[in-house]
Structure formats: C-alpha cells, structure tokens
Structure 1
C-alpha cells in the first residue's frame, strides 16, 4: 500500500473497501429499468459538435450537487490543467447533479461524454455490470492511490472502472460564533443532544436546519440513525436487500427520527439544502446534518464553520460509523474518444490533478495521498482526520443500494414519512413490499 504523506489521514483499506465488497452479492440483479430521459439534457450531454475521434477532443461531463459554483470550479481547474499539460482540447459539459442522476441511464446508453464524474461502490458497479462504462484497469496502479481506493474502484468482475478524485464526510455542522455566543457544546450522546436542542429552542433557535425538496438529503439522516441504532453491518445488509424494512429494527429508526423531528425545521419538503444552509448561516438554525459541500452554499461562512460527528445513541453501538462518499470519474463505453478519455483519466488520478483542483476550498480531500495538504482549510484537515479515524464508512444510501430502489421507493417513502410521521407501520410495510419485487 502507498504510504500517506505526514499529517495526511489515509482511510484504512479494511474500511474503505467494505461497502464495495458487500455489493458483490447483488451480481445479476442490478438496475432493470431506465430512468426518465430528457431530450434537452441528452443533447447537452451527447451532441456531435466539438468531440469524438475526428477532432481529438475529450468530452468531460461535470455534475455536482451544488450546481454552478465552487464545486464546478474545482472540476474546471482540473480540466484546464490537463488541457494545458497535454495540448488536448477538453469540452466541458456542466450539468446539475439532480438532472444528471435522473437521466444517467439514458445518458450512458445514448451519446454520452467520454469522461464523466460519478461515484465509487455500488453506483459504479451497476453500470460496469450493465456494460455502460469502460474497464480502466490499465490506468491502475496509480501512484499515491492506496489499495483501499483501488478496492472502491473495483467492480464485481475484479476489474477497475473508476478513478477516485476525493471524499468527504457527512457530519453535524454549526457556526462557531453561534456556539460561542450561547455557550453551546457539541453533544456526545442522545441525552446531551436533547439538552442542547432544548437550550437552542429556549434561545429562539431551531436546533436543526432540514431540507428534502430534492429527495436525497434526508437519506443522510436515515443512514446515520440506522448506523447509530442498529450498527454498520445491519445498515449495509439492509442496503443490500438482505434485511426486512418492516422489521422492528428499521421501525425503531423511524420512531427515533419521528421523536427528533420537532427539533428540525418544519416543512422540509418545500426547502432545498441550500436554503437550509442559509438558515444556519443566518443563525435561525443551530446545526445542520449534511456533507461538507454545505460550504458551497455559504462560502463566506467557511472560517466560522465547524462540525462534530452525530452523537452516540446506543453505547453498545457507539459512534464510529459515518457516511463518507468517494467521488471520481468513469469512462463511458459509448463515448467517441475512448483512447483520449483514458489518457485524461490517467491524469485525473494524479496528485498533480488533485492540486490543480484544490485551492484550499472545502470539501475537497484528495484521494491521492501525494497531493499537497499544506494549504488545506481547517475544515478539510479536520474532515481528513475524522474520516481516517472512523471504524466503518458507508457511501450514502443512494450509492449503497440499487438506483431503482433508492429513487422509486426510498425517496417517496421518506418524503411520505416526513409529511406524516405517524404512519411508520404503513411506510415500512410499503417499502418492504416494493423491495421484495425489486430484489429478486
């Protein structure tokens, strides 16, 4: 294994590869139906101008959760650095994260970009098994890229289909100035958490910012509650379809969540995650459970932001598991410039590319251990330390299970629960019934 640079917290191989290896049990049972397509989106992602073998240009599909902003800037900096170094034209195609995910199946089967941003683990493996992304095993090994990241890039056939870029933790964010002003202290267990929320409410502050208009943000809350209540192994088995969603264990998660909803912002289905972040920025809310990309919505607050991992709910389970998704790049089978795309991938995995995209802006924590870390912001440094110290790491609900199940079942089910948290039996029964028809 490549050794990390001094001061750099490398994710343990036994931890990082766990989510990907557990997906092998799902071979042959992946996504069966294409998601809804958009002709406008497909035209933007697969037009004939400026790419393909004729021009030698590489088409680069960029999608980020934050839409236009710092996240896209980081990718653009990497693309520009590669174009300058290689002399190859890179045609960038910027698409917001939600639009891209909703159309990814149709996109990959149509006329896609050559290289596109995507995720490690199950969400990569499903497209590898469907033959929609190219084998890039000859890109590996990558200098400075630990074996653990190679494991995360490996599909169920033992080949690599992914080049990692970075990773980031989900945690509870807060403004240091607000905590200092009111004397708040990060909680370590449920009792301390509830005491803190009561103090915040007494100070006319809503304890948790909360949003789920886009469907996916609340998945992070389910993930952490399930890992805190039932443990990491149960959570991963549930994602793999090996546990029952109407079990007592899952119902306990929803019951705990329902008991915590009164300390969250009301009406989350009408609010985007960026709007929730703004509520915390204004001091209307005290905390926000989200990924470190929260900074992209409130960049002026970065120096005032800090975070803690979600507190322990059961002493026998502890608080050592968390979501820490790995982002990176894949090569489309239907891309017109396979050779050019693979050459770009070789560059994108290097420390040089990581440095080109890292301008001291959160949440970038380079996957390549040779990347420069001296310019990391305080949040980046802490994020690397927290993820490095975690005993178990999940990739996030919609990355750790089947795309069709996450999109068509979990999103509407969680939103139904948030709209009416009193019908836990009905929600969990419905999820289980639908799961049985999908995981066959």
Structure 2
C-alpha cells in the first residue's frame, strides 16, 4: 500500500490543484468519440497512483490493459499521485471527472453518493465472488450500491517471528497475556510498541481498536456517524485505557513517521507495531520475518472479533461522459480475472476481495490476512473512512495528537471534540 494511503482532504488550502476539473486531477485522454459501450468505446480511468510509483500503479495499469484486451474497450488512464488525488477529489468530481475512478468503501463512498457525485451501480450487482460483506461495504445510506471492491488489508499487531522466538514469547490470547508480554519486553530493554504519529492518521487505528474492544462494534460505528457522544463515559474510557498503555509505546510519537516506527520494530528496538499490512513496505528484508495477531480482548463481555480492514475499489463518477461503458467496466473490475491480472503484473500483490481470485502470488502474511478477515464478525473501514472526512482531518487528527502530548486532559479534549462534532456531524 502507498505510504500516503491515508492522506486526508485539506480543502481550500489546496484549491489550486484542481479547479473545475482543469488542474492536475482533470480527466485526460480523448472524449470517447461518443461511443457508449462495447467495441470501440473509451472509458476514462482515474487512479490514485502516479506512473512509475511502484506496485500499486503497476497493478492498476495491468488491470486496465487486461480489460482492453478482453473487451476491445479503450481505457484512457489518468494516473495521479496519491496525495494530489485525495486532496483534489471534491473539485475533481464536480468538474470533468474520469468515468471510473479509484476510491474507498465506507462513509467516504456514501458521502459522495448522498451528494449525487457518484453513480448508482446497483444494476451491476450481484458480482460473482463478492459476498454479502463486500456488498454491504458497497452500499450507501439509501440502500443502493455505488462501489465495487477489489482489495482490502487488515490492521493488526505485527511482530518479528525471530525476535519472539529468541525471547520465548507467544502471541497473547488474553488481556493478562498481553500485559505480561509487554512487561517482559520492557524488562528486557525492548519497547513493547513502535509508535509514530507525525503523519496524523496512524494513531486513529489505535483509537479504533480500543473503542471496538471496550465499547463494541455497534457503538464504534454509531460514534463515527455522530449518533453517540464523544464526551461520554464510553469514549473517556477509551482515552483512559490508552493513557495507561502509553508507557508501553515509543515516546514522542509526533516526531516520528510510521516508516520510522516500523524501522524500530524491524531492528529489534520495539517488539510490536499496530498498523496495516502495508507495514511490510518499510521493512525490506525483514518482511519475511513478520507475523501478526489481532488485538486481544479487553472486556470479557465484548469478543475480540472486530477489526479495521479498509476496502479499496472503484466508483463511477456521476459527471462522467460514458456511463454505460463505465458500468460495464466497473463490474469487471470486481471480478477474479481483474484481481489476477493486477497481481500477476506486480512484485507485491494485494489481497483480492473476490473469493475466486488466485492466491498463488500471496505471501504467508497475506494468506493469513485473508483468513483473519474472513473469520471476523465485524469489519470497520478505519476512522478517516468511517466518519466525515472534514471531521477526521480537522478535528480528530489534532485532538488525538493533543491527547498524545497531554494525556491528562481527557475531559477537556473530549468536550472539545463533542462541541466540534455538533457543528460538523449534526
């Protein structure tokens, strides 16, 4: 996954990047010559990876090429670097967007559906190999589907197998095991958790998992939707628990990127790291030595069967000129053939959403990821996808960072979050 995976919208501060579709994210290529679908049609395909940026670009380019070879539909690729794509998405969709574009499941998708910026693709479902959980992730608040998934990745607690074996450690199965493991790590001069939040988004994953473990999945999703109170006892418990765990984390996380934190685990200074599977991107030769476990149960009444597993995929832009051909393409993008075409072309495969896709190129870590996600009772999309993008970027990033600097100010911080939630979420 791209290192800039979770860049969030910065609105007018970056308005010069794409205004009325004429900036860096404007659709490129020809206009399709008026063809709507079938032989000779053109579909404009906007992707959030710049040309030559690595395996993510290679996969998407290969998928586009495979679709052209299969259908004789020309795919006009508009490749834009990840940050620019994220930061310019609103003006892009309101201008002259590509027909099909890469995007995310969850609130980030539903928000565009409610605004009329993406097309209802319910008539393309069901899609062979995509089960009910993926269909639900593609469904907006009106009960219709606006998204087709292609891949996902779980967040979990990663560690180096060799370090655990050397020290006689095992993945914890309970809260007591978890606490004993961290105490033993500290006793041996190893910081239990690598931690870096200079980028703003990584610590959201810690909040998510603590909230799901302490208050349950339904409360977590209600909180993200603005239906629960940020200054209530439940959220305060999350921050109090987090405060008790901070001594087991690297100090001064705001001065450290997620890649630097990953390096600390890779070189053995830290024992574990809560992050997505893209952690392997920062570890190079240590990647084959990685394993993970899901965050353990913290409350006896709440099973440890919920996790963040963000889903990536595609939407059809409502302002795209070739709706029929775009719908045909987006259905194929959810197929096993599309996933296989991407994974066969790239050094680093993604975990395909389609159950019929080949796993021959998967690492052991990816095979385990697929098993863990398949066994999970509840899947969240990550805070900056499950809630309003402005709320995530302008409220939660600075609030969590303020907590990390001043963990004793929980009442003040949660009151401030709730006041701003009232304004943004209603």
TM-score (norm: length of structure 1) = 0.85
> Which residue of 375, 386, 391 corresponds with 2:377?
391
SS across alignment from 1:44: coil
Whether the aligned pair in 2 keeps the contact of 1:361 and 1:376 (CA below 8 Å) is no
- Cα deviations by residue, 1:190-223 (Å, 9 ceiling, x for unpaired): 3322222222233332221112222211111000
2:32 aligned with 1:46: no
2:230 aligned with 1:245: yes
SS across alignment from 2:394: helix
Whether the aligned pair in 1 keeps the contact of 2:151 and 2:352 (CA below 8 Å) is yes
| Partner residue in 2 for 1:278 | 263
| Partner residue in 2 for 1:9 | none
Whether the aligned pair in 2 keeps the contact of 1:35 and 1:105 (CA below 8 Å) is no
Q: Tell me, which stretches of 5 or more residues in structure 1 are unaligned? A: 1-32
> Equivalents in 2 of 1:203, 1:68: separation in Å?
40
Whether the aligned pair in 2 keeps the contact of 1:168 and 1:324 (CA below 8 Å) is yes
> Equivalents in 2 of 1:363, 1:174: separation in Å?
21
SS across alignment from 1:244: coil
Deviation at 1:288, TM superposition (A): 0.9
> Equivalents in 2 of 1:326, 1:225: separation in Å?
20
> Which residue of 134, 157, 160 corresponds with 1:172?
157
- Cα deviations by residue, 1:102-128 (Å, 9 ceiling, x for unpaired): 332222112323221111122111101
Whether the aligned pair in 1 keeps the contact of 2:17 and 2:88 (CA below 8 Å) is no
2:348 aligned with 1:369: no
> Which residue of 137, 159, 163 corresponds with 2:122?
137
> Which residue of 398, 407, 415 corresponds with 1:429?
415
SS across alignment from 1:328: strand
1:415 to 1:99, Cα distance in 2 relative to 1, 3 A: farther
SS across alignment from 2:379: strand
Deviation at 1:362, TM superposition (A): 6.3
Tell me whether 149-158 or 83-92 shows the greater mean CA deviation. 83-92
> Equivalents in 1 of 2:31, 2:182: separation in Å?
56
Q: Tell me, which stretches of 5 or more residues in structure 2 are unaligned? A: 1-9, 35-40
Deviation at 1:64, TM superposition (A): 6.2
1:234 to 1:346, Cα distance in 2 relative to 1, 3 A: closer
1:390 to 1:278, Cα distance in 2 relative to 1, 3 A: same
1:396 to 1:404, Cα distance in 2 relative to 1, 3 A: same
1:363 to 1:50, Cα distance in 2 relative to 1, 3 A: closer
Whether the aligned pair in 1 keeps the contact of 2:25 and 2:88 (CA below 8 Å) is no
Tell me whether 35-44 or 179-188 shows the greater mean CA deviation. 35-44
2:137 aligned with 1:152: yes
Whether the aligned pair in 2 keeps the contact of 1:178 and 1:286 (CA below 8 Å) is yes
Whether the aligned pair in 1 keeps the contact of 2:306 and 2:378 (CA below 8 Å) is yes
SS across alignment from 1:311: coil
| Partner residue in 1 for 2:405 | 419
> Equivalents in 2 of 1:143, 1:117: separation in Å?
20
> Equivalents in 2 of 1:363, 1:270: separation in Å?
31
2:280 aligned with 1:262: no
Whether the aligned pair in 2 keeps the contact of 1:110 and 1:334 (CA below 8 Å) is yes
> Equivalents in 1 of 2:142, 2:209: separation in Å?
30
- Residue pairs, 1:118-129, within 5 angstroms: 118-129=103-114
Tell me whether 276-285 or 215-224 shows the greater mean CA deviation. 276-285
SS across alignment from 2:127: coil
> Equivalents in 1 of 2:304, 2:49: separation in Å?
29
After the TM superposition, list the runs of 4 or more consecutive aligned residues in structure 1 that deviate by more than 6 angstroms: 360-363
SS across alignment from 1:335: coil
- Cα deviations by residue, 1:351-385 (Å, 9 ceiling, x for unpaired): 10011122497672222122122443211211111
Whether the aligned pair in 2 keeps the contact of 1:145 and 1:369 (CA below 8 Å) is yes
TM-score (norm: length of structure 2) = 0.88
- Cα deviations by residue, 1:222-275 (Å, 9 ceiling, x for unpaired): 000011111112111211211111111111111111121122122222222222
Calculate the aligned-residue CA RMSD, in Å: 2.4
Deviation at 1:77, TM superposition (A): 2.4
